[in-house]
Structure 1
């Protein structure tokens, strides 16, 4: 197998303020392979996607599997899952759990990416799925959360749907890698979901997303073709067109006569 050099946490942090990094949420091996070939720097992945096959598809991408909030309760559970996904090919873990949990993982050398701003799993505390940080008080709360993550030992934090000027100021005043999800170019990483980039979603497209393809229309076309193909198969079976001789396995005539003779004798 060809060896690939993957970026380390130290490599990524060394790029802070020097160039914008790219990041995608991918949920399939096909998307992971496409991200690799396109030169995407970082990928967020479901833990179940990791493994040797994933690394064959995306050997160079820095992978951050998400430890979904609520799937684990104690710090020990988060620790076990974190070590599991790192062994499976992850490079860091996303964690929206408590600072105590993040600190515990950092103490064990596990690279952790936190989350500030709009945190979907905790959106009830900030008014639902809406922008966060639009007032001085709210913006300062985001800043305090960022510093708390930094002090707990996180190396990065996703900052989601925060005014770009606020996000830029926060990014400029933290050593962490700030990953922008709709928070502007003043951060270190631009992060989008592959589903949004590809136009796969049929529901609401977030304001910060940019759609580059219309996969939903292509899926519709493929579904129409799928139904048409199945319908033609049904008709062929009912009319006797399928199967044809070329679809069948043959047998030597002498062997067939011998078989039929023995079958008749057994009746």
Structure 2
């Protein structure tokens, strides 16, 4: 008999929206981050396909996991069949929903096969050349209407949700309240269904640009720097021990009895 999973389902996440319950969501890349998110009680995780594995699924525990399907040629996914095969692969591992920023027809093919699809609206990093680069989207009436229309197209094909990235809070509020989809807000104000941050921002070790919406709760950068200094110091001590003969010590060496060694040497006639 197969044990019933204790982690949330698509229906559970939808029920959270209907109750007005705010959803916490983190992007993670390591087993330690996934396990910490589970222990802390984070609702949803975003994990790119390149990081997702049975071990990562186990580490994520009760978290509802969104698996990112690699976009376009970079992930060797081009056709709807490519995306569907990849989604099924990650579904077998234990993915709960699947991020897809491909074309509407590909997203629809996934939806038509009962794959829970999370699309992307607003600032879409992989397509931001069309909206002027890495900047807010929806700050004019026309731009906001384009985001709204995009959401409605996704809604019509049966998407489960969409990442709503860097749009004005009032636009996000209106969209979130007017769609059954789960709106995963990243820099979209307090009214999205979920608040979505990158773990590296939360832990304070972001490399490069730190977005406006990021909030840091710990300073891991300083800790990582300290650990790197300690790592280098330990390696130097190891080198010194090797050069002086301080390593290896007797406890690091495999022993052989005198009798066995004598027999060995005698057989070699040495």
Q: Tell me if TM exceeds 0.5.
A: yes
3-state DSSP of counterpart to 2:88: helix
Moved more, 37-46 or 3-12: 3-12
Distance in structure 2 (CA, Å) of the matches to 1:88 and 1:37: 21
Query: Please, what TM-score do these two structures have when normalized by structure 2?
Result: 0.94
Give 1:53's aligned residue.
55
The CA distance in 1 between the partners of 2:231 and 2:17, in whole Å, is 48
1:15 is aligned to 2:16: yes
Counterpart of 1:210?
215
Aligned to 2:7: 6
Query: What's the counterpart of residue 97 of structure 2?
Result: 92
1:105 matched residue in structure 2: 110
**Map of 2:31 onto structure 1:** 29
1:4, 1:59 within 8 Å by CA — same for their partners in 2? no
4+ runs of 1 displaced by more than 3 Å? 1-4, 48-52
**Which position in structure 1 is the counterpart of 2:71?**
69
2:171 corresponds to which of 166, 171, 175:
166
The unaligned stretches of length 5 or more in structure 1 are none
Residues 194 and 147 of structure 1: CA distance in aligned 2, closer, same or farther (over 3 Å): same
Aligned residues of 2:23 and 2:194 also touching (Cα < 8 A):
yes
Q: CA RMSD in A?
A: 1.6
Confirm or deny: 8 A CA contact 2:164 2:188 kept in the other structure: yes
CA distance, structure 1, for counterparts of residue 117 and residue 251 of structure 2: 58
Aligned residue for 2:120, secondary structure, equals strand
Give the SS at the match of 1:206. coil
Q: Distance in 1 between matches of 2:89 and 2:143?
A: 36
CA drift at 1:254:
2.2
Q: What is the rounded CA distance, in whole Å, between the counterparts of 1:252 and 1:2 in structure 2?
A: 53
Which TM-score applies when normalising by structure 1? 0.95
For these two proteins, the number of residue pairs brought into alignment is: 265
Do the aligned partners of residues 76 and 158 (structure 1) sit closer, same or farther apart at CA in structure 2, a change above 3 Å counting?
Answer: same
Q: Which moves more between the two structures, 255-264 or 26-35?
A: 255-264
Note if contact 2:57-2:95 (Cα within 8 Å) is conserved in structure 1.
no
Aligned counterpart for 1:239 among listed residues 237, 241, 244: 244
CA contact (8 A) 1:155 1:177 kept: yes
Whole-Å separation in 2 of the counterparts to 1:132 and 1:104:
27
TM-aligned CA distance change 1:245 to 1:2, over 3 Å: farther
Cα offset, 1:239, TM superposition: 1.1
Bigger drift between 8-17 and 141-150 goes to: 8-17
| Structure 1 residue 69: Cα displacement | 1.7
CA deviation string 1:122-173 (max 9, x = no partner) = 0000000000011111111111111111011101010000011111111111
* CA offsets 1:81-103 (integer angstroms, 9 cap, x no match): 11111111101110011111111
Question: 2-side partners of 1:202 and 1:77: how far apart?
Answer: 32
Aligned counterparts of 1:10 and 1:244: Cα–Cα separation in 2: 60
Correspondence for 2:181 among 173, 176, 181: 176
Taking the aligned partners of 2:90 and 2:249, their CA distance within structure 1 comes to 50
Match of 1:143 in 2: 148
Worse-superposed segment, 249-258 or 133-142: 249-258
